[in-house]
Amino acid sequence: MSSDRTTLRAAVVGGGIIGAATARRLTMLGADVTLFEKEPRLAAHQTGHNSGVVHAGLYYLPGSLKARLCRRGVELLREFASDKDLPYDECGKLVVALDTSEIERLDAIESRARANGVPEIRRLDSAGIALIEPHTRGISALHSPRTAITDFVAVTHALAQDVTDAGGTVRTGTPVTGLHVVGNQVAVETPDDSSTFDVVVTCAGLQSDRLSHAAGDVRDPRIVPFLGDYKLLKPDAAAKVRGLIYPVPDPRYPFLGVHLTKRIDGEVMVGPNAFLSPGREAYGRGGRVWRDLRDAVAFPGFARFALHNLPAASRELRTAVSTRRFVAEAARYVPGLTVDDVRPGPRGIRAQAMNADGTLEDDFVITGHGRIVHLRNAPSPGATSSMAIAEYLVDKVLERVR
């Protein structure tokens, strides 16, 4: 790839943080890269609608892609943020057990964290919790002092800047309408033109299943969008939170539940809840995309998922319709919080891959054929792991041209 005649021409579809990181990785290896993003700006969807937490790797099954790429991703992201003078704050995280029923689950998280090599974790009693978060209650907690927060939108723009500085092209406002293998090339079609590339990587997030299937990939898993609303603490209440305060995950529920998250701009978010989104990109209150809703509800896997998660659905519905119930969940960890302490916050939509049997894909999912590689599932810690996922995707796609 050192001369014009041998330079690999590569396309990356999707201008979120993983797409930008993948484009950058390809340029670092000497490829001529074009990054396509359908929105007029980068980081318009999941990257720009999350809490900004840089996860340390506490929860993930040892040996899984999530565990491996999260730990690698943290190191790459910290170094990149330092090199680019981007905000990065190791504010720390507490996973808090409220009573004895949660201790066994907290023990399991600690075991996973140690197996994953999460640095400097330690177990705290109630007195230790008070030293870290004076306004938080609990009988035991796992403390991860190296868990951090950052600005993933700023990181995405810095990654993309490296692409253009290296001679690559970033095409915003350019939806990809088709991918077709033509001999040893892949044609990338947009509403305005068609270009051929030696390899293509798709990182299409909320549209990943549709794009990959249209390109000839397997149908499942499919994306079922889950919407989550946050509240923001008003200043006096926000002053009670120093870092990140999380519940102990309950395996009966598919999502984590309400937690408190300090943000890099100093705001403190409470949430999110989680329930079926009326559209894959329906960020506005009342926004609906009937095709998205129809596809989700008509998918047999969703009916099976819903049937097996009725208690979770009931819990999430209560927090969705009642701000009082929403805040009450947070007040279990920071007593005294009331509805008067919060104001409306942002909304995010999670691109969750679901199988036909109703199970959620718990790990990153990467598929593909020919000279195309698809990232099909990259929920949290996707942003944290972005630069490591990029390494993994690029290795996979380069295997196809050797």
Summarised one tens digit per residue, pLDDT across range 150-177 is 999 999 999 999 999 999 999 999 999 9
Q: What is the mean pLDDT of residues 335-343?
A: 97
Given a cut of 60, is residue 229 above it in pLDDT?
yes
pLDDT confidence of residue 395? 97
Name the band, by pLDDT with cuts 50, 70 and 90, for residue 4: very low
pLDDT tens digits, one per residue of 62-118: 999 999 999 999 999 999 999 999 999 999 999 999 999 999 999 999 999 999 999
pLDDT tens digits, one per residue of 366-391: 999 999 999 999 999 999 999 999 99
pLDDT confidence of residue 135? 98
Given a cut of 50, is residue 213 above it in pLDDT?
yes
pLDDT confidence of residue 52? 97
pLDDT confidence of residue 193? 95
Given a cut of 80, is residue 286 above it in pLDDT?
no
By the 8 A CB rule, do 194 and 179 touch?
no
**Of the listed ranges 95-104, 284-293, 321-330, the one predicted with least confidence:** 284-293
Task: Report the share of the chain in percent with pLDDT over 70.
Answer: 97
Q: Domain spanning 89-149+222-354: which superfamily?
A: D-Amino Acid Oxidase, subunit A, domain 2 (3.30.9.10)
Given a cut of 50, is residue 2 above it in pLDDT?
no
pLDDT confidence of residue 402? 78
pLDDT tens digits, one per residue of 13-61: 999 999 999 999 999 999 999 999 999 999 999 999 999 999 999 999 9
pLDDT confidence of residue 285? 65
Residue 246 CA, distance from chain mean position? 17
Name the band, by pLDDT with cuts 50, 70 and 90, for residue 287: low
Q: What is the mean pLDDT of residues 261-284?
A: 93
Q: Domain spanning 9-48+153-221+362-399: which superfamily?
A: FAD/NAD(P)-binding domain (3.50.50.60)
pLDDT confidence of residue 163? 98
| Contacts of 325 by beta carbon, 8 Å cutoff, 6+ apart | 318, 319
Question: Between the CA of residue 314 and those of 129, 188, 306, 307, 386, what are the distances in Å?
Answer: 31, 44, 11, 12, 33
pLDDT confidence of residue 274? 86
Name the band, by pLDDT with cuts 50, 70 and 90, for residue 3: very low
Strands of the sheet containing 194-197, edge to edge, are: 178-182, 185-189, 194-197
Given a cut of 80, is residue 311 above it in pLDDT?
no
pLDDT confidence of residue 5? 45
Domain residue limits, the chain: 9-48+153-221+362-399, 89-149+222-354
